[in-house]
Amino acid sequence: MSRLAAENVTLAYDQRVIAENLSVTIPDHSFTVIVGPNACGKSTLLRALSRMLKPSAGSVLLDGSAISSLPAKKVARTLGLLPQTSVAPDGITVADLVARGRYPHQGLLRQWSAEDERIVQESMAATGVGGLAERYVDELSGGQRQRVWIAMALAQQTPLFLLDEPTTYLDIQHQIEVLDLCAELHEEQGRTLVAVLHDLNHAARYATHLIAMKDGAVIAEGAPCEVVTAELVQRVFGLSCQVIDDPETGTPLIVPAARKPRKAAAAAAVTASAVPTASATAAS
């Protein structure tokens, strides 16, 4: 029995159907990563799992009951989300923003408890933004800002945490920083993480459970070392590649095939052993 699952959902924006009859189960305590080409419905699925999008058929189950039937604040105490775009209010400090993550635990008569305070501190420490507490969010770098938003979602203290493309728009070192942070949250705190990622190599390295989607359907799922093969990448992304072992972690690493110069490509099709080189191109 898993805590979060989508059962036979049909997902659509207005009349445009993105996915039909889709079923996905998120294994508990996994770091699940959803990958797939653009417009395959991976973000849409994440929106449905986080009750941001109501399925037009089927239902998303959280702890066995339809997520749309549960009280909003109760869901927010179980399931956190890092949206793709959020707006930091003008002139807000890091600590103030992180403190807003406590909202689902608060009420009119319980506005700012000692526990809130402790958890805000811990969340900032866990994401390494404790030293920035008094800074304004708009003065931070992209990577720092993303860690602040993650800290806010952490302060929500949810056993399930969904992230919609958390590394988009970040420099490579910040991408790795954010993913390392996610891995830590998963390993050290035993949370279930679900992320949509663009980079297949990042997905293969960090995920414990991978879901590959295409055209609104799940093509394959499982541990990356079992699932990620050259055939799968060809099938899902239409990309020919080699899959080798990541020298750092031993997880699958996708190396896209080298570009075949157009004229040489025809020849290469005949003599498969011929390696197109710059000189060959120049000669032809």
Partner 1 sequence: MSTTSTTVKPGESEVSGESGAGVKGVRGVRAVRTRGGLSLRLDVRALLACLLLLALALAAAIALIGSGDYPMTPAEVLSTLTGGGNPGQEFIVQDLRLPRVLVGLLAGAAFGISGAVFQAVSRNPLGSPDVLGFAQGSSVGALVVIVYFQGGTVAVAAGSVVGGVATGVAIFLLAWKRGIQGYRFVLVGIGASAMLYALVLYLLTKANIVEATRATIWMNGSLNGRDWDQVGPLAAVCAALLPLLLLHGRPLRMLEMGDDAAYALGVRVDRVRVVTLLAAVLLVASATAATGPIAFVALTAPQLARRLTRSPGPNLLPAALMGAVLLVAADWSAQRLFGADQLPVGVLTGVLGGGYLLWLLARERRVGRM
74 binds partner 1 (CB under 8 A): yes
Helix, strand and coil in the chain, % to nearest 5: 40, 25, 35
User: CB-wise, 96 or 246, nearer to partner 1?
Assistant: 96
User: CB-wise, 14 or 248, nearer to partner 1?
Assistant: 14
Site string for partner 1, 113-152 (x = CB under 8 A): xx--x--xx-----------xxx-----------------
- Distance, in Å, from the CA atom of 85 to the CA atom of 75, rounded to the nearest integer, reads 20
88 binds partner 1 (CB under 8 A): yes
- Distance, in Å, from the CA atom of 52 to the CA atom of 158, rounded to the nearest integer, reads 17
Q: Where are the alpha helices (DSSP H) in the chain?
A: 42-49, 72-76, 94-99, 114-126, 142-155, 172-189, 200-206, 224-227, 230-237, 262-270, 278-283
Site string for partner 1, 153-172 (x = CB under 8 A): x--x----------------
49 binds partner 1 (CB under 8 A): no
Per DSSP, the three-state class of 22 is strand
- Distance, in Å, from the CA atom of 169 to the CA atom of 52, rounded to the nearest integer, reads 22
Site string for partner 1, 11-40 (x = CB under 8 A): --x---------------------------
Kindly tell me which residue out of 1, 15, 72, 271 binds partner 1, with binding defined by CB under 8 A.
72
Chain-centroid distance, C-alpha 1: 22
Per CB under 8 A, residues contacting partner 1 are 13, 50-52, 72-77, 80-96, 99-101, 103-104, 106, 108-114, 117, 120-121, 133-135, 153, 156
